[in-house]
Amino acid sequence: MCGISALVRKPDSSLLPLIEDFNKAITHRGPDGGGLIHFPEKQEWLVALGHQRLSIIDLSETGKQPMELRNEDIWITFNGEIYNYIELRTSLKARGYVFSSTSDTEVILAAYKEWGTTSFEKLQGMWAFVLYDLRKQKLIVCRDRMGIKPAYYFKHDDYIAFGSEIKQFLSLPNFKIRPNRVVVKQYVLTGFERSDLTFFENIHPVLPGTYMEVDLENLKLSEPVSFWNPEKIVPTVKEYPEAVELFGDVLHKSVRIHLRSDVQIACQLSGGVDSSAVLALMQEHYSGDAIHSFTVQFPGYQKDETPFVKRVLEATKVVPHFTTPESSSFQDDFKKFIWYHDEPVGSFAHYAGFVLAKLIAKHNIKVVLNGQGGDEILGGYWQQYFAYLLSSGKQGRFKTVLQHMGGALLREGNEHLIRQIPSMIQRYRSRQNKREIRFSAEYKDLPSLNFFSDYFLMTHQERRVFDIRNLILPRLLKWDDRNLMAFGVEGRYPFLDHKVIETTLLFDSCVLFKNGWTKFPLRIAMKDKLPKEIYFRKSKWGFETPQNNWLHGALQPMLSEWIKTNKPLDTVIPPDESLRIANQFWRTGKLEDAQMLLRLFLLDQWFQVFLVRT
């Protein structure tokens, strides 16, 4: 896990200082050292590569980057982990390749030399890299299937730049820091943003599961080429026992291979079945020192996860650590927090993750596994269950609907499915009704992008791929990366291994849900490894924080003063409209009003931290 930089521009003396500044902006991602190289050959366009290193596999000097494949004129700057590098290296050695290191980085280079861009399909892991093939005069940027590792680009007539974080681009020549107004408006209205756009005009993410090529004869950037297409997978598994066996096996293998590391590994633990399952399987396969777990807690808060976490701890042999984020620390941290994130976040939950990452780093842990992705790939959200029932009803399968509803009331069922009906109806209505917000003249006529207009019209398989690739996960992974890498910590996600995802997409919707339970194959697969209160836990919470309490309590004086000031936000929403929204929350205390107020505050602070020209 590291940070990468790459610049291509016409020959002049400023290339090296530019890549130095570009790289310096992400030293937090790679506190174990940095490297730079530029290629001063006489050619139309010059290339420079930079790297900030977080040493995890091959801690020696032979693992330093940028790295060259010996005598082959192929260079790389790489961020991430290739978990199957041992198997790939064995295969490449059989083809005559000789390796100078034990790093996964060198394996990527050799694989590219042997198989070209088709080698990307063979990689199992998470990555973002820029590869420079001098002989072919070609630059290639590639990003992992799920976009776990970030990669962005900016193209100008005189140069093109690639980096791990948006802040790297802000010092580039001729770059104007301007908001992407369509994204800003969408964020204000919904709290969501499209995963193929950023809040900054003209800075683009490299799309997950794709690579792009730069032709160095004319600085032409190709369209993204996809090397992973999960939407083509057809569900064939329609029986519960088969689904349980397949999922249990593939998750075991994923956790085991995610433990490959030359440094200590820990676990982020909530009270949910996903992270608890990861921890239980880690214990079976981890041969290092005692496993440490890290948890956010909010004593006295209704949705505090601590009681569930303690039940997991009783059943496992780990060293637990807890932290409690405070509203006072948020007031001290929020500008720094926004700077690390580059873009506005969705809620205080992400600040809680920031505080947790700080605790992990304090204990000198460089790698943590967590349960991110379990809900998305296995239909773990209530709206996914109801969408399945709704589509079943539309297809005339009323018996199926009644079986699920009736089964939820059985002794071994989960009656929370029935309890969720009013909130699901409310959620559906709120998404169909546009929120009435008065925007400024510059924003009011911009299009409003609605993610949810066709959501319930999709097939369940289409919704699953949509949730994974377009809506929920890209944002969660982005925020998780920024939180952890702010402190030089690598996050790993066994549920998001492509083999795990491909296996779950083979499951027909009918085996994901049963008697009010979501994620049924996972729950049964964990039956002998976790307490029943965990694998059959009835309540379903997100990563909840006492957000309303903070906004209504300790943070209210700060927000009251802020709302009255002249501020960049006033160019998006008139001042009296911001005041109306704030007063409405303080009067009603409704969750949606709290979320709106927080978004407006974070957006305004983003304008200020990054000196965005409004």
Q: Which pTM does this prediction carry?
A: 0.95
Q: Which segment of 197-211, 356-370, 405-419 scores lowest on mean pLDDT?
A: 405-419
3-class DSSP string for 62-98: HHCCCEEECCCCEEEEEEEEECCHHHHHHHHHHCCCC
What is the Cα 273 distance to its own chain's centre? 19
Percentage of the chain surpassing pLDDT 90?
79
Task: Return the half-sphere exposure (C-beta side, CA atoms, 13 A cut-off) of residue 198.
Answer: 24
pLDDT band at 190 (very low <50, low <70, confident <90, very high): confident
Q: Label residue 467 by pLDDT band (50, 70, 90).
A: confident
pLDDT value at residue 102:
96
Distance of CA 262 to the CA centre of its chain: 24
pLDDT at 206 over 60: yes
Q: Go through the chain and tell me how many residues it has.
A: 614
* Phi, psi for 101 (deg, rounded to 5): -140, 175
For range 170-181, the mean pLDDT: 92
Res 435: pLDDT: 66
CB 463 within 8 A of CB 231: no
SS3 at position 200:
strand
For residue 38, list its beta bridge partners: 48
Residue 126 β-bridge partners: 81
**Banded model confidence at residue 434, pLDDT cuts 50, 70, 90:** low
* Gap between the Cα atoms of 578 and 583, Å rounded: 9
Tokens (6 digits) for 78: 């790489």
- Confidence at residue 203, expressed as pLDDT on a 0 to 100 scale: 98
Report whether pLDDT(433) > 60: no
Q: Give the integer Cα–Cα distance in Å for 459 and 466.
A: 10
CATH (residue range 231-378+454-535): 3.40.50.620
Q: How far is CA 358 from the centre of its chain?
A: 18
Helix, strand counts (H, E) of the chain: 24, 18
Whether the CB-CB separation of 271 and 312 falls below 8 Å is answered with: yes
Rounded to an integer, what distance in angstroms lies between the CA atom of residue 59 and that of residue 484?
Answer: 20
3-state secondary structure of 492: strand
- Give 42's pLDDT tier (boundaries 50, 70, 90): low
Give the CA distances from residue 606 to residues 346, 574, 591, in Å, rounded to whole numbers and listed in that order: 13, 17, 22
HSE at residue 479, side-chain half, CA atoms within 13 A, is 23
- Specify the pLDDT at position 465: 87
Buried b (16+ CB within 10 A) or exposed e, 39-74: eeeeeebbbbbbbbbbbbbbeeeebbbbbbbeeeeb
Instruction: Pick the closest to residue 214 from 154, 174, 266 (CA basis).
Output: 154
The stretch 139-145 carries a mean pLDDT of 98
Are 261 and 282 within 8 A, CB to CB?
Answer: no
The class (CATH top level) of 2-228 is alpha beta
> What does the alpha-carbon distance between residue 15 and residue 12 come to, in Å, rounded to a whole number?
6
Query: Which residue type sits at 345?
Result: V
As a whole number, mean pLDDT of residues 372-395 equals 91
Specify the range with the lowest mean pLDDT, choosing from 31-40, 253-262, 599-608.
31-40
| Joined tokens for residue 587 | 């009067």
For the chain, give the mean pLDDT: 93
Confidence of residue 450 (pLDDT cuts 50, 70, 90): low
Secondary structure letter of residue 449 according to DSSP:
-
> Where is average pLDDT lowest: 84-98, 130-144, 349-363, 455-469?
455-469
Model confidence at 397: pLDDT above 60: yes
Residue 50 and residue 4 in contact, taking contact as beta carbons nearer than 8 Å: yes
13-27, 248-262, 506-520: least confidently modelled range: 13-27
- Integer Cα distance of 93 and 589 in angstroms: 63
Helix (H) or strand (E) holding 162: strand 159-163
pLDDT > 70? residue 456: no
Please count the other Cβ atoms lying within 10 Å of the Cβ belonging to residue 542: 12
Instruction: Report how far residue 29's alpha carbon sits from residue 51's, in angstroms, rounded to the nearest whole number.
Output: 10
How far is the C-alpha of 284 from the C-alpha of 86, rounded, in Å?
A: 21
The predicted structure's pLDDT at residue 451 = 62
What pLDDT sits at residue 287?
84
156 vs 173: CA distance, rounded Å:
9
CA distances for 77 relative to 44, 50, 127, 287, 481, angstroms: 22, 7, 11, 30, 18
Average of pLDDT values for 349-356? 97
- The stretch 255-260 carries a mean pLDDT of 98
Q: What is the pLDDT of residue 464?
A: 83
The 10s digit of each residue's pLDDT in 59-81 is 999 999 999 998 899 999 999 99
Given a cut of 90, whether residue 459 has pLDDT beyond it is: no
Give the pLDDT band of residue 608 (cuts 50, 70, 90). very high
Q: What are phi and psi of 60, to 5 degrees?
A: -80, 175
- Domain positions in the chain are 2-228, 231-378+454-535, 552-609
CB 304 within 8 A of CB 297: yes
For 275-302, what is each residue's pLDDT tens digit?
Answer: 999 999 999 998 878 999 999 999 999 9
Q: What helix, strand, coil percent values describe the chain, rounded to 5?
A: 45, 15, 35
Q: Tens digit of pLDDT for each residue in 494-552?
A: 999 999 999 999 999 999 999 999 999 999 999 999 999 999 999 887 788 999 999 98
Backbone angles phi, psi at 160, to 5 degrees: -135, 140
In degrees, rounded to 5, the angle at the alpha carbon of residue 120 between the alpha carbons of residues 115 and 121 is 95
